[in-house]
Amino acid sequence: MKKRVGILTAGGDCPGLNATIRGVAKALYVRMGDNVEIIGILNGYHGLINGDYKKMEPDDFRGLLTLGGTILGTKRTPFKMMQVIEEDKIDKVAAMKKTYKDLKLDCLLCLGGNGTHKTANLLSQEGLNIIGLPKTIDNDIYGTDVTFGFHTAVDIATDVIDRIHTTAGSHSRVMCIEIMGNKAGWLTLYAGIAGGADIILLPELPYDIDRVCAAVERRAKNGSNFSIIAVAEGALNAEEARMKRKEWTAKRAEAGFGATATNRIAAAVQKKTGMETRVCIPGHMQRGGTPCAYDRVLSTQFGSHAAKLVEAERYGVTVAMVNGRVIENRLEDVAGKSRNIPESCDLLTVARRMGISLG
């Protein structure tokens, strides 16, 4: 009997989404031949709610291994709004279930990050056959050692830091580089170490601006005419860490430094140290472009494992990499949990041993 398999990509885009879609499709065609039909749901859960889809053919999956972004499109549909009926009067959960049933899907594969996995788990609890695939440049999905997209973003952020070194040295400046990562600092930690940053500021470790400035002054005293500060966009100082989000965001807005800490850190460093300081924000470039070799392999591993789960009718799970092995976790065990940098993380120890200040 022919299986009808839906695939969607939700949340932010990242390198490796298309490679994972390709991995799923190619493995399904190899394993099941003409006994499988793939339906692409367009623009994530928004498409599932509104019934936007495309019947896919084998040729649609050619040339995807190196292609960034997602051929299915994506939109953010926050989990907290999934069970809220808004002005359009649409019951989103009921609409998603209806589209699933109207398409006569046997299962739905949901590629995305933490929010995507929470909605995937919700749909699984509503009785749909769901398989998750962990995507995010933040590498913060609980239950997996790595997510596809992360290593490509590390390469891009590292390249930014590499290039900033020459400008910082030429102009005797302190350069604050804002790296993506709102709640988890994995990307900043990896890229900061790989790029030779002197100071790394992470959401998990509230910083003290006096310590940051002391590290800059210490380098200057030792003969270094510049410093590189890698700042996770979600970095907080010790005072903010004791506040609620609404409180510190309002305080930042009042001071005119915007939503992230980077501009305020730069201003404080320049004022306290007297060194010329500049901010660099690579932003969405970290999510764009072709996936690196590591992510191409990982995406293919994850996609082929998901195809095996489809054939075995093993649902309510999400694919993961643990200790070098591709496995699956139950959605209900990982949804709603984040993988943040623990204080015992080996890389934090490495950073400290290398003389990197963590603020």
Say how many C-beta atoms besides its own lie within 10 A of residue 9's C-beta: 31
- Cβ neighbours for 288, distance < 8 A, ≥ 6 positions apart: 13, 15, 68, 69, 156
Backbone φ, ψ for residue 189 (5° rounding) = -65, -50
Whose CA is closest to 111, among 7, 39, 5?
7
274 sits in the region (left: phi over 0; alpha: psi -120 to 50; else beta) called left
- Cβ neighbours for 264, distance < 8 A, ≥ 6 positions apart: 252, 255, 257
Q: What is the DSSP string of 242-289?
A: TS-HHHHHHHHHHHT--SSSHHHHHHHHHHHH---EEEE--GGGGG-S
Find the radius of gyration of the CA atoms of the chain.
22
Instruction: Give the dihedral of Cα atoms 264, 268, 274, 277; nearest 10 deg.
Output: -20
Per the residue annotation, which of 138, 140, 155, 295 is the catalytic one?
138
Whose CA is closest to 317, among 150, 143, 67?
143
Measured in whole angstroms, how far is the alpha carbon of residue 141 from the centre of its chain?
8
**Strand, helix or coil for residue 240:** helix
Residue 183 in contact with residue 338, Cβ under 8 Å?
yes
Establish whether 198 is a catalytic residue.
no
What are the catalytic residues? 138
